[in-house]
Amino acid sequence: MWEQLGNVMDMVKKVQQYVGQAEEKLKAERIEVSSGDVVKVVVNGQQEIVAIELNAKYLEAANAGLLQDLLVATANSALAKSREMHQAAMGKLAGDLNLPSIPGLF
């Protein structure tokens, strides 16, 4: 029985190591989403905004509302793509490790 517990603990450590490696890889990934030539948002695979670029030709008080709306929409779109990338990577990892499908595991 103790031997089986040791095997399970070894498996848990291995899974933690693989998840850590996958998380680091996702942190290095970049997703760019643009709203035409007005706003560009760059996020990583960890749902962190890395950069926001605004085209200077649109930086006028009259455009403030439009810029705010585009910034929110573009950032939300980029974050959604990042979440999809993260879920796909964790699903692949679970499949590669032959783990059972447990909702919320990754």
pLDDT (0 to 100) of residue 55: 95
The dotted CATH code for 2-96 is 3.30.1310.10
pLDDT band at 79 (very low <50, low <70, confident <90, very high): very high
Q: With 0.75 as the threshold, say if the pTM is over it.
A: no
CA nearest neighbour of 37 among 67, 60, 62, 64: 67
Query: How many residues in total does the chain contain?
Result: 106
Domain boundaries, the chain: 2-96
Alpha helix (H) residue ranges in the chain: 2-28, 64-96
> Is residue 105 over pLDDT 80?
no
Adjacency order of strands within the sheet including 39-44? 30-35, 39-44, 49-54
Backbone angles phi, psi at 27, to 5 degrees: -65, -30
Q: Collapsing DSSP states into helix, strand and coil, what is residue 2?
A: helix
The residue-averaged pLDDT of 14-24 equals 87
